[in-house]
Amino acid sequence: MDMTREKIGQTLESYDKKKLKIATICSHTALQIFHGARQEGIKTIGICTPNRRKVYEAFPLGCPDEFIEVDDLKDIPSDELLEENAILVPHGSLVEYSGDLLSSMAVPMVGNRDSLCWEKDRLKMFEWMKASGLQVPATIEPDKIDRPCVVKLAGAKGGRGYRVVNSPEEFYEHFEGMNVTVQEYLIGVRVYPHYFYSPLSREGYHASEGHIELMGIDRRFESNIDESYRMEKVGLSFTPSFTVVGNELLVVRESLLENIMEMGRNVTETADRLFGGIPGPFCIETVCDENLNFFAFEISARIVAGTNIYPQGSPYSAYLFNEPMSMGRRIAREIKSAAKQGKLPKIIF
């Protein structure tokens, strides 16, 4: 059965606010989340498989204070977490592994879990992006493919299995009968801004009842497309692929910030209207073309892996905080502020 805000509110009410813990699956942005919580003095719990534990122990400052070992990362140990006053931080792996279980999970989660359903469903995500006034790539029927298009597998994560096709014939050769989305290929520079929306205070860039902070921007490194010039140089022919391998720092020309902040504000305010808001971290995946127009092809309604570049803060968080502030630390700080103000249900569902 789906969890209600009322039920999660009761759970939060029953928690010992002085002993709140932050929990997440050991994957994706976990090192950063544990590191940030430690900086804010909050204890942490890592849910991991036995063989993964040593990886986290190899990084003492990013290692959780305690581990709960599970055989399958899908099995969130809800009862144990509830006993520990734990708040889950959903990241990309948690969303992928837990899938449909997210809405019924008894453990309180940072942000609005309803937003994760909007991120998982491409039709809903496009509805959200369009309602936010973002320009988006055309979605094209397979029979009408007349230009380079990216074909995206349903539920595929990190770009795995995507392929560019140029015609209906090429599409049917590779994707006949499969559940996929065909999107016009966007030309330009990929820009992934990381936002944090706080409904708890109204400083800086106003959005909805609070404000948004631009915590950083990244660009991804995808295999093999991002090293294609090397293959071309040595005379290899290859099929472009888009599997995300890592991320790199990006700073945009300063005049683009106006657009970036407005996109964030619009996405935040539209989330309010559509599904009750998006407190906490989110990211809009965009391509900026040669006329400096942004096109958005995805929203991640949670912390993104690109934030891992900035455990000590970013070239943007430097202008927001007088101390190193990662997204992981920002989340922990928001939990602390909300607990102090008696407003946990505002940022946790």
Candidates 84, 213, 285, 334: give the one binding ligand AMP (CB under 6 A).
285
The residue range among 15-23, 75-83, 180-188, 320-328 that interacts with ligand AMP, by the rule CB under 6 A, is 180-188
150 binds ligand AMP (CB under 6 A): yes
Query: How big is the CA angle at 66 (ends 198 and 41), to the nearest 5 degrees?
Result: 40
Q: Per-residue b/e over 206-217, b at no fewer than 16 CB within 10 Å? A: ebbbbbbbbbbb
Q: Per-residue b/e over 35-49, b at no fewer than 16 CB within 10 Å? A: bbbbbbebbbbbbbe
Candidates 297, 310, 316, 349: give the one binding ligand AMP (CB under 6 A).
297
The residue range among 1-9, 47-55, 166-174, 179-187 that interacts with ligand AMP, by the rule CB under 6 A, is 179-187
> CB count, 10 Å around CB of 100?
8
Site string for ligand AMP, 204-243 (x = CB under 6 A): ----------------x-x-------------------x-
Minimum gap (Å) between residue 72 Cβ and ligand AMP: 24
80 binds ligand AMP (CB under 6 A): no
The residue range among 49-57, 178-186, 230-238, 319-327 that interacts with ligand AMP, by the rule CB under 6 A, is 178-186
Total count of residues recorded for the chain: 349
Minimum gap (Å) between residue 309 Cβ and ligand AMP: 15
Read off the tokens for 201. 């205070």
> CB count, 10 Å around CB of 7?
14
Nearer to ligand AMP, 151 or 332 (CB): 151
151 binds ligand AMP (CB under 6 A): no
> CB count, 10 Å around CB of 273?
12
Using CB under 6 A as the binding rule, the residues of this chain from 182 to 201 that contact ligand AMP are: 183, 185-186, 190
Read off the tokens for 48. 């991991």
Minimum gap (Å) between residue 220 Cβ and ligand AMP: 5
Residue with tokens 């966007």: 186
State the Cα–Cα distance between residues 3 and 102, nearest whole angstrom.
9
Q: Which residue is nearest to ligand AMP (CB)?
A: 159
**Strand order, beta sheet including 163-165:** 163-165, 149-153, 180-184
Q: Where along the sequence are the contacts to ligand AMP (CB under 6 A)?
A: 137, 150, 159, 162, 183, 185-186, 190, 220, 222, 242, 285, 297-298
